[in-house]
């Protein structure tokens, strides 16, 4: 027989693992991301609401959560088990929207504090008319509540929780129900004669099997005349699903149970109640129940943690792909810009016309203006082309639809602005260089520094086609000075071009980096799991 | 497809011979697999094997006999008599009718009017004969024609619509709803082939169809069901949708268009089948009592009911009148699952034309049930949703079925079954809650006479409320509008689905501003401004040189001698390649493409951008060439008329200086008498006048120089803009035009959403 023995190390590693799980994020909208997020939330709920509190305090009362489809008669069942109307039953679906926890008055302190289900606000008793509560749409209550009722009729050491449905239209209900079921020691699944083949409850049953939780099924609302047949068929279905050994209780449909009356005679639910009381009070049985659910959950971590880790890895891989698309695009464009500069593409169009007219029909300032503008156009063209290539590559990536990644509507104008700024700064610095060089010249008729700057710029940007600009410069400045000036300005140019391209690339990546997707969580999850396994 | 139809044709001719002879055989029950093939309707795997025509035919036959009431007897007798009179005659009349209808249709739609004019004549003629379902094929109806064997072949050659429309035309003779039919006949005469998307009905296919109808008409004892006719607005919407799909083929992927294609296919397939029947499916969750309701409506226990969940595993059909075999074939329901309702003289007439289909559940763990439900729900004309007090708020029902089908509210009944399980007031409470949920799903509720879904409460077990449902169904079926409304709702939902790929966020198009900006960018790329400046300045310089004083010129020459200019030399020698700034062209194209595609739905924006990029290929080279050509003004720069005068005056001034100088020199030398005044005056005149003339010339030359420069700039600018327009803007504009066309077509599909059922 398995019993629960808890060492403090296990608890420590468990809370470490919990922190790792809580820290995992799935920001990119990958195909499996929504599921991974749900899995993480579920795992977190199970750790927080069940496993950790249970291991910390094994003596706490057993919590049996009654779950099932809408209209399966969960509330009626709870009322009947308790022996008075604690949860509102009704004909309108879904009936129960506020979960109700019933326990013995002596056990009240276990649930009144935030030991389990800490995110639910406690409501002590049903002072307000529950019908009013019912009429309120769920959305108007931003905080989710858990109503706590006490009943003497319930034995000590057992608490019943009436959960909302798992399959009605109200999505909040479904989420809440899943969360509540995660907190249970005993899962009581209620289904009915018309429902027992429904797909949704079967998913839940399979989940229970996967987690090896202590499971009880109740077949409710069975008309008298078909009790044996339906019960047999349900049993067959359970056996087929590998759940044949699950305790199964059948509750017939009685006039008392009909819709809204809310109570069944005690005899109808006696077998279930006896089973529950026995497991709550008999130490061995109780131990067995707790150990089974707890170890089932611990065992399920073995497959669930790697699943989470692989989702985290997928996130990282997607982020890498996005980044590399940006890098490829910008690298390609950067290389193209360099090649263009080399071949003198800047000295074309306006700039070329100006250069041809220089110096007779064109002032050096005009020539410089034209060159600077042309250079800015080249850089802007490269940046937008890179962006276009990135968009093209990202179009095939589902992850690129993450909020904030795609919208860059405003950035284009500002890219033009930023590039213009950088290019003008380069011009100013180059002019300063030219002035420096001219000043040290010992000639009597020193050339105008502006002309020198214009010719140097032409020589740098014009590539092959401005060869005679270099010659002219040498004539004016002397070979050495010309060479020095060209080299300095050339280095400056390369530096500025690199800086512009780099800045634009960084801007493009900023949104992605804001998500902060790292490879670490994957390894950490696996590491936490392996430590846990060692501790067990 | 052609191959397939050919094959069908072959098969059919084989198969026709016996039918022709076997007069009584109910050939309407043909092999469903074959029929389905013909319609292109994919049958579920294995369905062919399930369907056993041999087994099905006798069964139907016996049921025919069994359920035929006294009122039918007369009809049957009369028809039989007509055939007995002269079977050949009747057949020929059929063909004649067919040909007669087919004739105007050979010329597509233009002939529509003619047919419209002609058709009422037939209608009235037939209507005049008999109001009841009396023999239709009397020789007296025979339109003027040339009897002979050629008729048969020409009838077979006719378009498929000929065959179909003949059916519609013959429908006038059935006597039920003559007026309505007469109206719709004019519409249905219009060519309505499958067009671009579905199987285009080939000649051969048409022949098969025609022959098939013929075989039906000959071999069958009962009336062949007249096919469905859609009214004008709906047909034009379907046409618009088909055209839309055709126009979008190259731009959108098949997946996007699949739903629209399916709707068109189904609309075409449904149209070929009986318009007198309404197929209604009963759908619901497991255990809600679908089969019970089915049995309650039919009056016999046809469908198995039970406590075992899920109970019904395969759909079962029940037809209240003959001629619905084609419709049931389309649903893929095998012959052994077709039933007849219990004969009940009171109710028979009421539900005439109803074909009820009991579906499996949609929410049990048996996935194949859900698949069947999903498949059949797409094909039926109307749906009865059965819910029960326990399950009416299930997420599966609302999220998976009711919300997506909210547009189909008009062909929807929502029935709250098992109200007997609810105590007193609770039934109304639940019904109200159900109405609220349906309202939240966006389903229009048919209260107070509005079109929309009918919500009823009943108990199939006790029979409460079943009569109301029966009445509602009877009225619904009698209207015969369900199929068209269903198709209209399908078109609506397909249109809604396509909205993101057609609807623009804002007004689209290339603004004048954007065009001008593009031209300006191209002009920048070829350097028009700089070229203009340079030309202006060069002209001015030349003018100054021409009109300047010779001394100044001498000085300049001297100055220029030592100073080898850089620029001028550079410009001269090599024939330049890549005059145009490539990056600017690229940027200009990208900007204009962005502007043009802003606000367009994805695929069209991409198409616009692609057309711009494609047009931009070679644009730079073209601009290079153009700049080389247009950049150099032809011949020498023009000279103003006053220029020679100015040169003359300048020369005169120089002459004055020289004359004055010489005069003075002569006086100094003593050759001439001393007279200082005149020569000094002359010289001063010359000295002052020279620069004065030069200055005034320069002032005067400014205007022409600017004009000259602007002319050079304009020439280059216009050439560049023209080049850009031809290569980039025009393709972009035509792509935008294409989008606008498609958009209009889409608007046509959407527009008349409300006008369904109103002709």
Residue from the list B364, B426, B587 with its beta carbon closest to the beta carbon of A259: B426
Per-residue pLDDT tens digits for A406-465: 666 556 568 888 899 999 999 999 889 888 888 877 666 667 888 888 888 888 888 777
For residues A92 and B430, the answer to whether their CB atoms sit within 8 Å is yes
Residue B496 tokens read as 């809604």
Cβ distance of A340 and B363 shorter than 8 Å: no
**Spatial separation of the C-alpha atoms in residues A478 and A443, rounded to whole Å:** 10
Residue B125 tokens read as 């003629």
Q: Is A258 on the interface with B (CB under 8 A)?
A: yes
The share of chain B scoring above pLDDT 90, in percent, equals 3
Lowest mean pLDDT among A489-498, B258-267, B572-581: B572-581
Residue from the list A353, A469, A471 with its beta carbon closest to the beta carbon of B527: A353
Model confidence at B43: pLDDT above 60: no
Closest by CA to B50, choosing from B374, B372, B382, B340, is B372
Tell the residue number behind the tokens 């644009």, with chain if given: B619
For residues A96 and A88, the answer to whether their CB atoms sit within 8 Å is yes
Å from A378 to nearest chain B CA?
A: 5
Q: Which residue of B has its CA nearest to A261?
A: B423
Average pLDDT of chain B is: 69
Per-residue pLDDT tens digits for A130-144: 444 444 444 444 567
Closest by CA to B523, choosing from B712, B731, B706, is B712
- Chain A residues with CB under 8 Å of B621 CB are none
Give kind and range of the element (H or E) at residue A99.
none
Cα B484 to the center of its chain, rounded Å: 19
**Spatial separation of the C-alpha atoms in residues B3 and A90, rounded to whole Å:** 63
Q: Is A91 on the interface with B (CB under 8 A)?
A: yes
- Chain B residues with CB under 8 Å of A345 CB are 578, 581-583
Q: Which residue of B has its CA nearest to A362?
A: B534
- Chain A residues with CB under 8 Å of B590 CB are 381, 384-385, 388
Q: Which of B285, B309, B539, B572 to mutate to test the interface with A (most CBs of A within 10 A)?
A: B309
Model confidence at A259: pLDDT above 80: no
- Chain A residues with CB under 8 Å of B574 CB are 465
**Spatial separation of the C-alpha atoms in residues B454 and B571, rounded to whole Å:** 86
CA angle B216, B219, B225 (to 5 degrees): 35
Cα B465 to the center of its chain, rounded Å: 44
Q: Would you place residue B582 in the very low, low, confident or very high pLDDT band (cuts 50, 70, 90)?
A: confident
Residue A442 tokens read as 């010992």
Model confidence at B166: pLDDT above 60: no
Cβ pairs A/B, distance under 8 A: 213
Q: Taking residues B225-252, report their average pLDDT.
A: 82
Model confidence at B667: pLDDT above 60: yes
Q: Taking residues B448-469, report their average pLDDT.
A: 84
For residues A511 and A28, the answer to whether their CB atoms sit within 8 Å is no
Is residue A219 classed as helix, strand or coil in its secondary structure? Answer: strand
Dihedral (C-alpha) B180, B183, B186, B190: value to the nearest 10 degrees? -60
Parallel/antiparallel/unpaired status of strands A100-103 and A158-162: antiparallel
Per-residue pLDDT tens digits for A268-288: 888 999 999 998 888 888 888
Number of Cβ within a 10 Å radius of residue A320: 12
What CA–CA distances, in Å, run from B387 to A24, A337, B394, B749?
43, 68, 9, 34
- Chain B residues with CB under 8 Å of A355 CB are 567, 570-571
Å from A503 to nearest chain B CA?
A: 20
Tell the residue number behind the tokens 């039934």, with chain if given: B427
Cα B752 to the center of its chain, rounded Å: 14
Per-residue pLDDT tens digits for A55-89: 888 888 899 999 888 878 888 888 888 888 887 77
B221 φ, ψ (degrees, to nearest 5)? -75, -40
Number of H helices, E strands in chain A: 18, 8
**Spatial separation of the C-alpha atoms in residues B516 and B519, rounded to whole Å:** 5
User: Is pLDDT larger for residue B85 or for residue A478?
Assistant: A478
Contacts of A187 by beta carbon, 8 Å cutoff, 6+ apart: A64, A65, A67, A181, A208, A213, A214, A215, A216
pLDDT value, residue B344: 67
| Verdict on whether the full-model pTM lies above 0.80 | no
Q: Is A378 on the interface with B (CB under 8 A)?
A: yes
Q: Taking residues A45-62, report their average pLDDT.
A: 87
Cβ distance of B534 and A169 shorter than 8 Å: no
Is residue A62 classed as helix, strand or coil in its secondary structure? Answer: strand
CA-based end-to-end distance of chain B? 34
- Name residue B382's beta-bridge partners: B280
Per-residue pLDDT tens digits for B427-446: 888 889 899 999 988 888 87
Closest by CA to B227, choosing from B273, B175, B194, B172, is B273
- Chain B residues with CB under 8 Å of A260 CB are 423, 426
Cis check: omega of the bond before A359, within 30 degrees of 0: yes
Q: Which of B305, B387, B530 to mutate to test the interface with A (most CBs of A within 10 A)?
A: B530
Per-residue pLDDT tens digits for B589-623: 988 888 888 888 888 888 888 888 888 888 888 88
Beta strands in A193-285 (DSSP E): 214-222, 248-252
pLDDT value, residue A400: 82
Closest by CA to B256, choosing from B491, B606, B600, B502, is B502
What strand order describes the sheet that includes B382-387?
B338-339, B316-319, B354-358, B278-284, B382-387, B412-416, B454-457
Å from B640 to nearest chain A CA?
A: 21
Residue from the list A233, A355, A382 with its beta carbon closest to the beta carbon of B567: A355
Neighbour-count burial of A332, counting CB atoms closer than 10 A to its CB (0-12 exposed, 13-18 middle, 19+ buried) = middle
Q: Label residue B418 left, alpha or beta by phi (over 0 means left) and psi (-120 to 50 means alpha).
A: left
- Chain A residues with CB under 8 Å of B433 CB are 92-93
Lowest mean pLDDT among B512-521, B539-548, B611-620: B539-548
Q: Which residue of A has its CA nearest to B429?
A: A92
Q: Taking residues B650-658, report their average pLDDT.
A: 83
Q: What is the ipTM, given to two decimal places?
A: 0.78
Residue A181 tokens read as 């079921």
Q: Is A72 on the interface with B (CB under 8 A)?
A: yes
Cβ distance of B579 and A352 shorter than 8 Å: yes
Model confidence at B342: pLDDT above 50: yes
Model confidence at B150: pLDDT above 60: no
Helical axes B677-724 vs B528-547, angle rounded to 10°: 160
pLDDT value, residue A334: 93
pLDDT value, residue B591: 87
Å from B427 to nearest chain A CA?
A: 9
Q: Which of residues 203-222 of A touch B (CB under 8 A)?
A: 221
Give kind and range of the element (H or E) at residue B404.
none
**Spatial separation of the C-alpha atoms in residues B209 and B160, rounded to whole Å:** 6
Parallel/antiparallel/unpaired status of strands B354-358 and B278-284: parallel
**Spatial separation of the C-alpha atoms in residues B205 and B199, rounded to whole Å:** 10
Å from B308 to nearest chain A CA?
A: 7
For residues B285 and B380, the answer to whether their CB atoms sit within 8 Å is no
Per-residue pLDDT tens digits for B102-123: 333 344 343 344 433 444 433 3
Q: Which residue of B has its CA nearest to A369?
A: B530
pLDDT value, residue A262: 62
Handedness of CA A216, A220, A224, A226 (dihedral sign): negative
Q: Would you place residue A328 in the very low, low, confident or very high pLDDT band (cuts 50, 70, 90)?
A: very high
Å from B30 to nearest chain A CA?
A: 38
């Amino acid at each position: 027989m398995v019993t629960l023995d808890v060492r403090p190390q296990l608890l420590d590693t468990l809370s470490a693992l919990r922190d790792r799980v809580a820290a995992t994020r799935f920001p990119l909208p990958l195909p499996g991301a929504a599921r991974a997020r749900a899995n993480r939330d579920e795992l977190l709920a199970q750790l927080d609401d069940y496993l950790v509190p249970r291991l910390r305090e094994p003596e706490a009362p057993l919590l049996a959560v009654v779950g099932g489809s809408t209209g399966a008669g969960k509330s009626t069942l709870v009322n009947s088990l308790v022996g008075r109307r604690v949860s509102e039953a009704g004909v309108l679906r879904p009936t129960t929207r506020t979960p109700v926890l019933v326990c013995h008055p002596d056990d009240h302190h276990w649930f009144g504090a935030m030991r389990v289900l800490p995110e639910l606000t406690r409501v002590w008793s049903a002072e307000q008319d529950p019908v009013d509560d019912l009429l309120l749409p769920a959305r108007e209550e931003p905080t989710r509540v858990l109503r706590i009722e006490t009943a003497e009729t319930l034995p000590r050491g057992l608490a019943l929780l009436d959960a909302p449905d798992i399959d009605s239209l109200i999505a909040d209900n479904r989420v809440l129900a899943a969360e509540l079921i995660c907190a249970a020691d005993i899962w009581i699944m209620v289904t009915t004669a018309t429902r027992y083949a429904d797909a949704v409850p079967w998913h839940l049953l399979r989940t229970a099997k996967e987690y090896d939780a202590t499971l009880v099924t109740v077949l409710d609302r069975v008309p008298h005349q078909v009790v044996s047949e339906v019960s047999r068929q349900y049993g067959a279905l359970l056996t087929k699903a590998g759940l044949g050994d699950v305790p199964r209780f059948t509750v017939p449909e009685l006039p008392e149970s009909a819709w809204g009356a809310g109570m069944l005679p005690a005899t109808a639910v006696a077998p279930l109640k006896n089973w529950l009381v026995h497991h709550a009070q008999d130490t061995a049985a109780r131990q067995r129940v707790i150990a089974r659910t707890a170890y089932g959950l611990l065992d399920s971590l073995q497959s669930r943690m790697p699943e989470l880790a692989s989702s985290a890895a997928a996130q990282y891989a997607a982020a890498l792909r996005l980044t590399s698309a940006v890098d490829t695009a910008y690298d390609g464009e950067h290389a193209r810009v360099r090649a263009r500069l080399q071949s003198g593409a800047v000295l074309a169009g306006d700039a070329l016309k100006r250069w041809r007219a220089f110096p007779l029909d064109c002032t050096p300032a005009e020539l410089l203006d034209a060159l600077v503008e042309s250079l800015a156009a080249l850089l802007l063209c490269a940046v937008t082309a890179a962006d276009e290539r990135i968009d093209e590559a990202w179009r095939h990536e589902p992850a690129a639809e993450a909020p904030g990644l795609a919208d860059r509507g405003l950035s284009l104008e500002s890219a033009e602005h930023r590039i213009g700024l950088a290019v003008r700064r380069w011009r100013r610095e180059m002019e300063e260089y030219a002035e420096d060089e001219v000043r040290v010249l010992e000639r009597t008729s020193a050339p105008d520094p502006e002309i020198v700057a214009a010719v140097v710029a032409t020589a740098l940007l014009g590539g092959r086609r401005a060869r005679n600009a270099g010659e002219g410069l040498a004539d004016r400045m002397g070979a050495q000075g010309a060479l020095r000036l060209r080299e300095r300005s050339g280095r400056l140019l390369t530096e500025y071009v690199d800086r512009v391209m780099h800045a634009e690339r960084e801007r493009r990546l900023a949104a992605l980096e804001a998500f902060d997707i790292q490879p670490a969580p994957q390894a950490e999850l696996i590491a936490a799991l392996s430590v846990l396994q060692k501790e067990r | 497809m052609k191959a397939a139809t050919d094959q069908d044709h072959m098969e059919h001719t084989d198969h026709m011979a016996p039918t022709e002879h076997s007069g009584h055989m109910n050939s309407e029950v043909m092999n469903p697999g074959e029929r389905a093939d013909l319609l292109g309707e994919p049958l579920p795997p294995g369905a062919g094997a399930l369907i056993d025509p041999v087994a099905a035919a006798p069964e139907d036959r016996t049921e025919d006999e069994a359920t035929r009431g006294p009122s039918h007897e007369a009809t049957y007798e009369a028809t039989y008599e007509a055939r007995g009179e002269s079977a050949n005659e009747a057949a020929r009349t059929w063909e004649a009718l067919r040909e007669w209808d087919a004739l105007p249709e050979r010329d597509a739609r233009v002939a529509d009017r003619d047919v419209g004019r002609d058709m009422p004549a037939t209608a009235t003629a037939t209507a005049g004969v008999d109001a009841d379902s009396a023999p239709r094929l009397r020789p007296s109806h025979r339109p003027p024609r040339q009897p002979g064997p050629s008729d048969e072949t020409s009838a077979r050659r006719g378009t498929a619509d000929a065959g179909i429309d003949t059916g519609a035309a013959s429908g006038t003779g059935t006597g039920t709803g003559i007026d309505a039919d007469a109206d719709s006949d004019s519409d249905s005469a219009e060519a309505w082939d499958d067009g671009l998307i579905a199987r285009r009905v080939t000649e051969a296919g048409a022949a098969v169809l025609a022959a098939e109808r013929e075989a039906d008409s000959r071999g069958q004892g009962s009336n062949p069901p007249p096919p469905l006719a859609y009214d004008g607005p709906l047909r034009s919407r379907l046409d618009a949708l088909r055209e839309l799909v055709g126009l979008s083929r190259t731009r959108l992927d098949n997946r996007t268009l699949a739903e629209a294609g399916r709707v068109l296919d189904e609309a075409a397939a449904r149209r070929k089948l009986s318009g007198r029947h309404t197929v209604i499916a009963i759908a619901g969750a497991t255990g809600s009592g679908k089969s019970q309701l089915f049995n309650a409506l039919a009056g016999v226990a046809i469908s198995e009911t039970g406590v075992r969940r899920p109970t019904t595993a395969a759909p079962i059909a029940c037809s209240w009148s003959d001629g619905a075999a084609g419709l049931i074939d389309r649903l893929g329901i095998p012959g052994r699952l077709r039933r007849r309702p219990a004969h009940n003289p009171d109710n028979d007439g009421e539900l005439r034309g109803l074909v009820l289909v009991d579906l499996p559940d949609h929410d049990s763990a048996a996935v194949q049930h859900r698949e069947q439900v999903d498949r059949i729900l797409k094909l039926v004309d109307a749906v009865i949703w059965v819910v029960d007090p326990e399950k009416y708020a299930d997420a599966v029902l609302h999220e998976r079925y009711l919300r997506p089908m909210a547009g189909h509210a008009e062909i929807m009944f929502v029935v709250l079954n098992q109200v007997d399980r609810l105590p007193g007031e609770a039934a109304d409470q639940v019904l109200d809650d159900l109405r609220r949920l349906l309202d939240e799903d966006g389903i229009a509720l048919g209260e107070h006479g509005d079109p929309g879904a009918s919500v009823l409460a009943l108990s199939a077990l006790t029979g409460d409320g079943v009569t109301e449902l029966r009445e509602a169904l009877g009225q619904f079926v009698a209207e015969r509008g369900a199929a068209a409304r269903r198709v209209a709702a399908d078109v609506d939902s397909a249109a809604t689905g396509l909205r993101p790929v057609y609807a623009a966020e804002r007004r689209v198009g290339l603004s004048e501003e954007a065009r001008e900006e593009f031209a300006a960018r191209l002009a920048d790329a070829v350097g028009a401004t700089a070229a203009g400046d340079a030309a202006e300045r060069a002209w001015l310089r030349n003018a100054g040189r021409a009109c300047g004083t010779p001394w100044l010129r001498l000085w300049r020459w001297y100055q220029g001698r030592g100073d080898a200019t850089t620029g001028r030399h550079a410009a001269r020698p090599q024939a330049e390649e890549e005059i145009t700034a490539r990056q600017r062209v690229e940027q200009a194209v990208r900007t204009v493409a962005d502007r043009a595609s802003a606000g367009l739905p994805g695929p069209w924006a991409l198409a616009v951008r692609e057309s711009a990029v494609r047009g931009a290929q070679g644009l730079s080279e073209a601009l290079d060439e153009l700049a080389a050509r247009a950049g150099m003004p032809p011949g020498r720069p023009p000279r103003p008329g006053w220029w020679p005068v100015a040169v003359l005056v300048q020369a005169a001034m120089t002459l004055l200086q020289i004359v004055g100088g010489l005069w003075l020199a002569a006086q100094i030398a003593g050759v001439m008498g001393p007279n200082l005044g005149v020569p000094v005056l002359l010289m001063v005149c010359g000295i002052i006048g020279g620069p004065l003339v030069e200055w005034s010339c320069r002032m005067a030359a400014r205007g022409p120089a600017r004009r000259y420069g602007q002319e050079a700039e304009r020439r280059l600018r216009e050439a560049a803009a023209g080049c850009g327009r031809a290569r980039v803007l025009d393709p972009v504009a035509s792509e935008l035009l294409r989008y606008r066309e498609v958009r209009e077509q889409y608007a046509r599909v959407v527009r008349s959403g409300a006008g369904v059922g109103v002709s």
